[in-house]
Amino acid sequence: MRPLLVLLLGLVAAACGETRLVASSVPSGVGPDAIIIRVPRDGGHAYAYRAGRDSVLWESRDKVPATSAVLGFDDFLSVLLGRDAAGRVYSVDLRLGNVEMLGSAVLGSAARAEGASVFGFDANGRVLRVTPVATWSWEPAGGADLLVPQPDGALITVRNGNSGASISRVIPPETRLTDSATLPRVEQVLRTPAGDRVWFVTGETVTALRSRDLTTALSISMGRSISVIETTPSGDRLFVGTSESALRVIDRFAEREMSKIPLPGAPIGLRMDPDGRYLLVRLAANDSIHVVSLGTQRVIAALPGGWREDLPLVTPDGRVLLTRGADVVHVDAETGRERLRYLRGASDLWLQARYNGFRPRSAGLDKPVEFEEYAADSAAADSALAAMMAARYGNANAAERVMPPPVTPPNPEDREPAPAQPGDRPAREIWTVSFATLLAEDRAKEMADRIVVDGRTARVIAGSRDGIAIWRVVLGPYDTRDAAERAGMASRLPYWVFEGAP
């Protein structure tokens, strides 16, 4: 019976075609979505695609400036960070689609992003940290040559001198050094994705320092000059390229070289798959991109394409995004078969991010938030909590503001409608844009007067919660959710959309 079952399973697999399990086999909705963001180098609207698709998922409302580099993406704030042609940092909000310049500081080409912060040097050699809130500057003693931002907010700097390299750690906005170390002259620096270690290349030696205190975790001499290094996403293995036609693999836990991966030539560039399946290798001997399977530790494909700061990159569906002529193509990592082509994409800049912000929201989540202050109003220094306490317990300085008016009886129109009967017409959809719920009527009216979208002015709706009078600032109604979303985005203010009348 067992051989018969095995035979049947084999026949079913053959009938179904390819049986290799790939990342696309993972059910949709599990984990964050892989988003490909396309930024025009000469300026214009930015676009986003779902990885493996060529239909536009999102388009920025504002135009981005001429861009020299795409620095990173912060999924918590939903902002893309870039550096314009003049060296200034800008952000693109993927929720509202607006573009904002982050200060006037000009950073050099060595700028690096970590989260929503961008670190770099200005023309005078000062270290700058540019964020959506403020710009921090620091002049380290003796200067710095390399910057290594850390996920915990710390910054590691490297300064090469005649006697070697000085490694320092500081936690902005403080300028006091928390730790320091010394090494021979540093040629390359690589941070593990987890941020727990930093690898330094010093001639023929690779040294790992613990990022929390800069103590030495591992130091291995390779016996040859090191050209390039790369680590797995977990940081368990380090791949080292030298002048020989192979990659040397260092195991972090064994603390020694464990194996070699043969290559057709000496490597001069490495790029890791974010999911740790493939390693892309650039060779000095040719222009092809060699794909190394980390599971088998061998070269499985050679793909024609260019090598840039942003491309090639590996997507979760087991494919490689790379330039080919004037276009950008999406090809299978193992077979090289072309799946998608983005016309004239080679002149743009590309970034892959993990982001769930484009998923459809549940209608139950679009519920007005109570007692939220109007953040754009400079007069709103008092918090909603303070206003609520004043309303309940009294405030001698603002008694006239917090005394709630008499509660009006419920409107008969607000009662729950009777169940639908056969032959009844379907009720018309109503969608409302809400901006804030305030405790002061005058402030609500002032805010509403400032919000004008397509000739329609926001209005104030009075209500009550727990015996406390509240005033909602809303716009609408609209017949469709899309119309309400467009009105909210056009206001350029924080908003939420809910179904029904307030």
pLDDT of 15 above 50: no
Other CB atoms within 10 Å distance of the CB of residue 74: 20
CA distances from 89 to 82, 173, 371, 382 (A): 6, 19, 34, 32
pLDDT of 27 above 60: no
Q: How far apart are CA 175 and CA 426, in angstroms?
A: 65
Residue 481, pLDDT score: 87
Identify the residue with better confidence: 436 or 293: 293
- The beta-strand segments (E) located in 86-223 are 88-93, 99-106, 112-114, 117-121, 127-130, 135-138, 146-149, 155-161, 164-170, 177-183, 188-191, 197-202, 205-210, 216-221
Residue 369, pLDDT score: 53
Is the CB of residue 469 less than 8 Å from the CB of residue 442? no
The string of pLDDT tens digits covering residues 178-197 is 999 999 999 999 999 888 99
pLDDT of 429 above 80: no
Q: How far apart are CA 332 and CA 320, in angstroms?
A: 6
Kindly state the average pLDDT of the residues 473-499. 87
Of the pLDDT bands very low, low, confident and very high (cuts 50, 70, 90), residue 362 is low
pTM, full prediction: 0.69
Residue 167, pLDDT score: 97
- Structural domain boundaries of the chain? 363-407+427-499
Of the pLDDT bands very low, low, confident and very high (cuts 50, 70, 90), residue 390 is very low
pLDDT of 371 above 60: no
3 state DSSP class of 401: helix
pLDDT of 332 above 90: yes
Q: How far apart are CA 133 and CA 123, in angstroms?
A: 22
Other CB atoms within 10 Å distance of the CB of residue 210: 15
Of the pLDDT bands very low, low, confident and very high (cuts 50, 70, 90), residue 463 is confident
Q: Helical H runs in 304-440?
A: 384-393, 399-402
pLDDT of 502 above 90: no
Kindly state the average pLDDT of the residues 469-491. 88
Q: How far apart are CA 254 and CA 54, in angstroms?
A: 44
Q: Mean of the per-residue pLDDT values for the chain? A: 84
Backbone angles phi, psi at 228, to 5 degrees: -160, 150
CA distances from 163 to 26, 158, 166, 184, 299 (A): 53, 13, 9, 7, 41
Residue 366, pLDDT score: 59
Q: How far apart are CA 45 and CA 62, in angstroms?
A: 7
- The beta-strand segments (E) located in 335-458 are 338-342, 348-355, 431-438, 452-453, 456-457
73 Cβ contact partners less than 8 Å away, ≥ 6 residues apart: 37, 79, 80, 81, 351, 353, 355
Q: What is the DSSP letter of 449?
A: H
**pLDDT over 90 for what percent of the chain?**
63
Of the pLDDT bands very low, low, confident and very high (cuts 50, 70, 90), residue 284 is confident
Is the CB of residue 121 less than 8 Å from the CB of residue 110? yes
Q: How far apart are CA 83 and CA 121, in angstroms?
A: 13
Task: For 363-407+427-499, give the CATH class.
Answer: alpha beta
pLDDT of 403 above 60: no
Identify the residue with better confidence: 388 or 367: 367
